[in-house]
Amino acid sequence: MKLLHDDEKVDIPDSNGFLQVNTLATYKIHDGARLFLSIKPGVNQTNTSSN
């Protein structure tokens, strides 16, 4: 597990470019895979739109 300071930020690659995630959210590294929890107020990131 990698612990970061609360005021530190990490850039996580995303299909739209980069998500800047505040490290107040959970950030773990497990078996080489990055597991992260990104909470953005007022933004629903689940892709449930039926086009």
> Looking at residue 2, what is its pLDDT?
61
Q: Is 25 a domain residue?
A: yes
How many domains does the chain contain in total?
1
Q: Is 26 a domain residue?
A: yes
Burial zone of 10 (CB within 10 Å; 0-12 exposed, 13-18 middle, 19+ buried): middle
CB neighbours of residue 23 within 10 Å: 16
The DSSP code sequence of 3-35 is ---TT-EEEEEETTEEEEEETTS-EEEETTEEE
Its pTM stands at 0.15
* Banded pLDDT at 32 (limits 50, 70, 90): very low
Q: Is 51 a domain residue?
A: no
Q: Is 31 a domain residue?
A: yes
Q: Is 14 a domain residue?
A: yes
Do the Cβ atoms of 23 and 9 come closer than 8 Å? yes
How far is 49 from 51, CA to CA, in rounded Å? Answer: 6
Q: Is 18 a domain residue?
A: yes
- Domain residues for the domain of 7 are 1-40
- pLDDT tens figures, 3-27: 656 566 666 555 555 455 544 444 4
